[in-house]
């Protein structure tokens, strides 16, 4: 995730916390619960990227690094659906 996206998420979270503290009738526990649940579901459903070193026989044994995305397991996706 890029730094611009993280900054945007942090700004929205900060605004929600400030409004929850300033306004009456807004429960911050609900905001924190939604933040934790959303983070958990995002962690379950986001593909994992890993670096792998591959040997390429065409380049006479030169190594190269490639980025591969692992497929999420069915159990993690099922758990994410059940959480929702």
pLDDT score for 11: 93
pTM of the model: 0.51
Q: How confident is the model at residue 82 (pLDDT cuts 50, 70, 90)?
A: confident
Q: How many CA atoms lie within 13 A of 50 on its CB side?
A: 7
Mean pLDDT, rounded, for 9-22? 88
Question: pLDDT digits over 17-29, tens only?
Answer: 888 888 888 888 8
Question: pLDDT digits over 33-75, tens only?
Answer: 888 888 888 877 776 666 566 655 565 555 566 666 666 666 6
């Amino acid at each position: 995730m890029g730094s611009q996206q993280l900054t945007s998420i942090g700004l929205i979270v900060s605004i929600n916390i400030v409004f929850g503290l300033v306004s009456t009738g807004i429960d911050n526990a609900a905001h924190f619960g939604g933040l934790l649940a959303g983070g958990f579901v995002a962690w379950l459903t986001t593909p994992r990227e890993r670096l792998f070193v591959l040997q390429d026989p065409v380049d006479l044994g030169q190594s190269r690094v490639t980025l591969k995305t692992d497929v999420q397991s069915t159990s993690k996706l099922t758990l994410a659906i059940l959480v929702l």
